[in-house]
């Protein structure tokens, strides 16, 4: 994920061939955030165009595996968010992502996603991740409304403004926004 700037109109960019973010947006009825179809080779210029068009924040989704695409996205990012499942598989994969982000000299934040309630592995994952860098002070739990929102084209906040998932996402945004302001 990359932020080009603070609060305001938001653009989404999907660089993952799996196209989960595009599929979500295509189901979406609301006009915002806007969806920007851009070529990866020309990311920096596309971001400049979006910025001159008034976009204040660009969120770029990446493929899951370490690829040249990820390197190019990191190169234009102000802040790299690394969603990580508290599983041995995800934790093993983190090292090579971290190397790439550090080589580019970009700030990064891990976000633990899909945690199970009261599972010891969540705490263990946070400790393991903290050896590599900052872990967001908010854990996103595994809940059906997150899964439902992916096919529904809405956010969990839009589905139920008073759900626990909504609280987590609000808290996460508060934290990420604060970090972006320091970029
Ligand atoms: N916290 C959560 N609770 C429940 N379901 C979740 C949660 N996070 C993600 N999911 C579901 O898991 C699937 C994959 O999630 P997500 O898109 O975040 O991961 P990904 O690794 O980027 O996957 P993809 O390779 O499809 O892009 C989605 O269907 C999503 O709805
Ligand atoms: Mg994805």
Residue 105: exposure state from Cβ atoms within 10 A (0-12, 13-18, ≥19): exposed
Higher pLDDT, 65 or 19: 19
Return the structure tokens found at 90.
Answer: 């995800």
Distance 29 CA to ligand 1 centre (A): 21
pLDDT band at 1 (very low <50, low <70, confident <90, very high): very low
Residue with the bigger pLDDT between 60 and 4: it is 60
pLDDT band at 4 (very low <50, low <70, confident <90, very high): very low
CATH at 148: 3.40.50.300
Distance (Å) from CA 147 to ligand 1 centroid: 7
Kindly list the protein residues whose Cβ atom lies closer than 6 A to any atom of ligand 1: 16, 18, 20, 64, 113-114, 140, 142-143, 146-147, 150
For the segment 2-6, the average pLDDT, to the nearest whole number, is 47
Residues 139 and 156 in one domain: yes
For residue 45, give its domain range.
1-78
Q: Cα separations (Å) of 180 from 1, 3, 42, 127?
A: 11, 7, 23, 24
Looking at beta carbons, which pairs linking 16-24 to residues 24 or more positions away fall under 8 Å?
Answer: 16/61, 16/62, 16/63, 16/64, 17/63, 18/63, 18/64, 20/61, 20/150, 21/61, 24/149, 24/150, 24/151, 24/153
What is the pLDDT at residue 115?
97
Would you give the distance in Å from CA 106 to the centre of its chain? 15
Looking at the fold, whether 21 and 104 belong to one and the same domain comes out as: no
**Pocket test residue of 16, 19, 20 for ligand 1, highest count of atoms within 8 A of CB:** 20
Mark whether 58 and 84 lie in a shared domain: no
Residues 55, 127 within the same domain: no
Give yes or no: residues 58 and 46 share one domain: yes
Per residue in 62-118, pLDDT (tens digit) is: 998 888 999 999 999 999 999 999 999 899 889 999 999 999 999 999 999 999 998
Q: Which two tokens stand for residue 68?
A: 């040249």
Say how far apart CA 77 and CA 107 lie, in whole Å.
Answer: 9
In angstroms, the CA 4 to CA 179 distance is 12
Q: Which residue's entry shows tokens 């999907």?
A: 14
Q: Are residues 143 and 171 in the same domain?
A: yes
CA-nearest of 9, 59, 13, 8 to 31 is 9
- Whether residues 102 and 176 fall in one domain: yes
What dihedral angle (degrees, nearest 10) is formed by the CA atoms of 162, 154, 46, 58? 10
121 and 152 belong to one structural domain: yes
Q: What is the mean pLDDT of residues 150-166?
A: 96
Question: Over 70: is that where the pLDDT of 5 sits?
Answer: no
- Nearest atom (ligand 1) to Cα of 144: 4
Quote the number of domains for the chain.
2
Same domain flag for 126 and 93:
yes
Rounded Cα distance between 8 and 147, Å, is 27
Q: What would the pLDDT profile of 110-139 be if each residue is shown by its tens digit?
A: 999 999 998 999 999 999 999 999 999 999
The pTM (predicted TM-score) of the whole model is 0.94
Whether 47 and 5 have beta carbons less than 8 Å apart is answered as no
Q: Are residues 56 and 100 in the same domain?
A: no
| Closest listed residue to residue 168, CA positions, set 114, 91, 109 | 114
Looking at 48, 78, 108, the residue that finishes a domain is 78
């Amino acid at each position: 994920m990359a932020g080009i700037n603070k609060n305001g109109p938001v653009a989404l960019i999907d660089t993952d061939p799996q196209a989960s973010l595009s599929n979500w947006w295509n189901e979406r009825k609301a006009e915002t955030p806007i969806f920007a179809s851009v070529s990866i080779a020309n990311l920096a210029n596309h971001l400049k165009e979006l910025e001159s068009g008034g976009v204040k924040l660009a969120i770029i989704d990446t493929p899951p595996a370490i690829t040249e695409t990820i390197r190019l996205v990191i190169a234009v990012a102000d802040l790299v968010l690394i969603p990580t499942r508290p599983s041995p598989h995800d934790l093993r994969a983190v090292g090579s992502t971290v190397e790439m982000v550090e080589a580019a000299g970009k700030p990064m934040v891990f976000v633990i996603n899909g945690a199970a309630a009261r599972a010891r592995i969540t705490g263990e994952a946070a400790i393991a991740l903290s050896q590599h860098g900052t872990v967001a002070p908010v854990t996103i739990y595994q809940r059906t409304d997150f899964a439902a929102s992916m096919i529904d084209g809405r956010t969990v906040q839009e589905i139920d403004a008073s759900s626990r998932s909504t609280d987590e996402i609000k808290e996460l945004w508060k934290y990420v926004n604060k970090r972006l302001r320091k970029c």
